[in-house]
Amino acid sequence: MSKKAKRQLETVLFSLPAIILVCLMMYLPFVLSGYYSLTEWNGISKEAEFIGLQNFKTIFVESSDFRESLWFTTRYTFFFVIFSNVFALALAVVLTKKFKAANFFRGIFFIPYIMSMTIVGFIWKFIFTSGFEKLYEITEWGLWNYSWLGDTKLVFYSVAFVGVWQSLGFYIVLYIAGLQAVPKDVMEAAVVDGASNRQKFFKVTLPLLGPSFTTCIFMSLTNGLKVFDIILALTKGGPGTATNSVTLQIYKEAFTNNNYGLGSAQSIIYFLFVLILTQLVLKGFSRKEVDL
């Protein structure tokens, strides 16, 4: 056997276990989910009853639960992407300045990200209830007396705030890396040309942060679309269905209502929605990147 054939055989043998594992854990369940979306199955009976496109008809025509959860997830994702990137970029610019406590504050902002999102949700649930109640007793400010998790008009902002707060440190790190990668000679050339600090930031630094923007926008978009554990810990989708995300809706339909067929149909639709949206956003931002 030639050396080239040996290398090819080694590549196949070493890759085969990973390929089998990925197929068993990802592709096979996806194919089965597509089949179960055409059936009525409670997850217990041996055979699933084939009902064709009835589950999809239920989603689009007969029930509004999925559409409402999709609307909440879209609003949450929009809020999450905008504020997490704006705040992260602003803080990254500050933390790239040379001052003694810069590294300390970088660590402080990153700590929430390494914590479990479920734990973060329970911590903020305690803060929104008992913590704010205690602050109201001390200060008597009306701000602390609102029902931040019980009011359908306020709960959205409470959940979105916790999501942004928890993930902010990760995006700060990415933006700091992008800012530090900006060539110094380009900045020096801008100074020589008489550019002000504002002009340097908006005309030079921001265009050169294209790869960082693409990465952060894409990751914040996907994190917003798959939001689940923070909502489960904070509100469990309530009050009513005010914070019912798509992922939580699929979980409830399949594992609480034991309607695996309808849950599978919802997951297929959401997969296509996420696939199209992320590809459009990724292509849009990739075209705006500046090559040095």
Supply the range of the domain harboring residue 218: 64-286
Q: What is the pTM of this model?
A: 0.90
Residue 97 in any domain: the answer is yes
Rg (CA), the chain: 24
Residue 14 in any domain: the answer is no
Residue for token pair 């809706």: 249
Phi and psi for 239 in degrees, rounded to 5?
-70, 135
Q: Is 45 strand, coil or helix?
A: coil
Residue 262 in any domain: the answer is yes
pLDDT in tens, the chain (292 residues): 688 888 888 999 999 999 999 999 989 999 999 999 999 998 888 888 999 999 999 999 988 999 999 999 999 999 999 999 999 999 999 999 888 888 888 889 999 999 988 899 999 999 998 999 999 999 888 889 999 999 999 999 999 999 999 999 999 999 999 999 888 888 888 888 888 888 888 888 888 888 899 899 999 999 999 999 999 999 999 898 999 999 999 999 999 999 999 999 999 999 999 999 999 988 887 776 655 4
Residue 7 in any domain: the answer is no
Residue 157 in any domain: the answer is yes
Residue 1 in any domain: the answer is no
Residue for token pair 């559409």: 67
- What total of structural domains would you count in the chain? 1
Give the tens place of pLDDT for each residue, 148-200: 999 999 999 999 999 999 999 999 999 999 999 888 888 888 888 888 888 88
- Indicate which CATH number applies to the domain containing 137: 1.10.3720.10
Residue 102 in any domain: the answer is yes
H-only helix segments in the chain: 3-22, 28-36, 54-57, 65-95, 102-114, 117-126, 132-139, 155-180, 184-192, 197-199, 206-208, 210-225, 229-234, 246-251, 260-286
Residue 46 in any domain: the answer is no
CA distance 267 to 254: 10
